Amino acid sequence: GAVVSQHPSRVICKSGTSVKIECRSLDFQATTMFWYRQFPKQSLMLMATSNEGSKATYEQGVEKDKFLINHASLTLSTLTVTSAHPEDSSFYICSARTTPNTEAFFGQGTRLTVV
Amino acid sequence: GQQVMQIPQYQHVQEGEDFTTYCNSSTTLSNIQWYKQRPGGHPVFLIQLVKSGEVKKQKRLTFQFGEAKKNSSLHITATQTTDVGTYFCSRTSGNQFYFGTGTSLTVIP
């Protein structure tokens, strides 16, 4: 299957700082990538859809100024958590599909801890 | 998007027992996908169902899509410790896909 690589796998940051998470499709081009957040023992909640060369589409309730998404190329999308707070601590996972309505491939996830 | 409900939320079974998780939607689904997430890991695709009443099998796993395309089930026969994890169904809406609430399976050796 296709490979999606996500970095870093773990990050600890101080409150008020920003953290950037990278998501790369290694063996295919992804015009669209998806960012999810998962709290312990909960489901994956879609945060936003990242579109190459255009603005991301955010789900209701997700602050676009806090979670900055950039999809500069067909193989790279980044999520920047700005002015992080302890309540932003979570597991962030990116995903991509090779074609619409097919299986999704996930990155390894990033566990963010804000102290 | 409207979240798809899954039951049960948690299930503990003895190794060798069967397990079933159900996925229910209030609206008709164009298709449904199933994923497995091991503890500490990321979701891994299992299967996609598209047709009304469709049944697919993967070794000990049986997936079913309801006739009305509003529900789906995943049945595991004779569970093994390697089946431990959370099973999610996922619905598609446009280009996006949304996960169900998930069922966490614990298999007791």
Q: Do B96 and A34 touch (CB under 8 A)?
A: yes
Report in angstroms the alpha-carbon separations of B95 from A32, B3, B27, B30, B91: 9, 16, 17, 12, 11
Stretch 9-48 of chain A: residues touching chain B, C-beta under 8 Å: 32, 34, 36, 41-46
Euclidean distance between CA atoms B17 and B87, whole angstroms: 17
By C-alpha distance, the chain B residue nearest A58 is B96
Tell whether B106 lies on the interface with A, counting CB pairs under 8 A: no
Q: Do B45 and A107 touch (CB under 8 A)?
A: no
Cα distance from N-terminal residue to C-terminal residue, chain B: 38
Tell whether B104 lies on the interface with A, counting CB pairs under 8 A: yes
For the residues A6-26, what does the mean pLDDT come to?
97
Q: What pLDDT does B1 receive? A: 53
Among candidates B41, B45, B104 on the partner chain, residue whose Cβ is nearest the Cβ of A103: B45
Q: What pLDDT does B3 receive? A: 74
Q: What pLDDT does B27 receive? A: 92
Q: How many CB pairs under 8 A join A and B?
A: 51
Residue with tokens 């920003």: A18
pLDDT digits (tens, 9 = 90+) for A59-105: 999 999 999 999 989 899 999 999 999 999 999 999 998 777 788 89
pLDDT tens by residue, chain B, 109 residues: 567 999 999 999 999 999 999 999 999 999 999 999 999 999 999 999 999 999 999 999 999 999 999 999 999 999 999 999 999 999 988 888 899 999 999 999 9
Q: What pLDDT does A1 receive? A: 72
What's chain A's average pLDDT?
93
Q: What pLDDT does A102 receive? A: 82
In chain A, the percentage of residues whose pLDDT exceeds 70 is 100
Q: Measure in Å the smallest separation between the Cα of B18 and chain A Cα atoms.
A: 23
